[in-house]
Chains A and B, each alone.
Chain A
Amino acid sequence: NAGVTQTPKFQVLKTGQSMTLQCAQDMNHNSMYWYRQDPGMGLRLIYYSASEGTTDKGEVPNGYNVSRLNKREFSLRLESAAPSQTSVYFCASSAKETQYFGPGTRLLVL
């Protein structure tokens, strides 16, 4: 079992460029989440998907869109990247209450 996987591991973008962060889980979990983590701050929820076919905004959704492609995959898209989106992005999945995290994507927007 790979658990939660994320691609890419690192990415450098220029302001205004777009990109999609990919996340997949093989634990048959219904719920999936996207967080960002900035220095000195905890994890902040961007979007989540309680089940296949549903998505909802979290605490900091502006500038992002998501797609729950199927039960396994949950992608995060930045349509027009801004320097304020420089961060580490974590995907997580859960069954019941416990969330399991992927290894993260480090994004730098210049």
Chain B
Amino acid sequence: QKEVEQNSGPLSVPEGAIASLNCTYSDRGSQSFFWYRQYSGKSPELIMFIYSNGDKEDGRFTAQLNKASQYVSLLIRDSQPSDSATYLCAALNLGSARQLTFGSGTQLTVLP
């Protein structure tokens, strides 16, 4: 069973703070990792993906990957109330016809 685990939260941070979202995965064959944001009642939208060990930055978002520890994280700098949403982590195993395995998501609330 390929699993992706996330703390369900809720995670609350004050406006302007750094929000740290974490994800672990069980399948060592996973090669790429995705972070999606999902507002209540809406569909998931891609924030960013990462496939190499280390950090990848895109604006206020930084994804971090450590394949040895099977750990992925997403940092959101200068958090805004508009960042309040559920964040889904997903792992892709190219050997599985490009199927994504999703975690259950972490609910983030940014307090004004």
A-B complex: 5 closest residue pairs judged by Cβ atoms: A42-B102, A101-B43, A43-B102, A42-B104, A101-B44
Please tell me if A2 contacts chain B, counting CB pairs below 8 Å.
no
Bound state CA distance, A104 and B38, in angstroms? 12
**Which one, B4, B43, B49, B104, contacts A90 given CB within 8 A?**
B43
**Which one, A48, A50, A94, A101, contacts B45 given CB within 8 A?**
A101
The reply to whether A98 and B98 contact each other, CB–CB distance below 8 Å, is no
- Which residue numbers of B lie inside 8 Å of A, CB to CB? 4, 8, 32, 34, 42-46, 49, 88, 90, 92, 97-100, 102-105
Give the residues from 31 to 68 in chain A that come closer than 8 angstroms, CB to CB, to chain B. 31, 40-45, 48, 50, 56, 58
Please tell me if A99 contacts chain B, counting CB pairs below 8 Å.
yes
The reply to whether B105 and A97 contact each other, CB–CB distance below 8 Å, is no
Bound state CA distance, A87 and B51, in angstroms? 31
Tell which of B4, B100, B103 has the most Cβ of chain A within 10 Å: B100
Please give the distance in Å from B112's CB to the nearest CB on chain A: 26
Residues of A near B104 (CB, < 8 A) are 40-42
Tell which of B34, B42, B104 has the most Cβ of chain A within 10 Å: B104
Please give the distance in Å from B21's CB to the nearest CB on chain A: 14
The reply to whether A56 and B102 contact each other, CB–CB distance below 8 Å, is no
Tell which of A50, A56, A99, A100 has the most Cβ of chain B within 10 Å: A99
The reply to whether A40 and B8 contact each other, CB–CB distance below 8 Å, is yes
Please give the distance in Å from B2's CB to the nearest CB on chain A: 9
Bound state CA distance, A99 and B45, in angstroms? 9
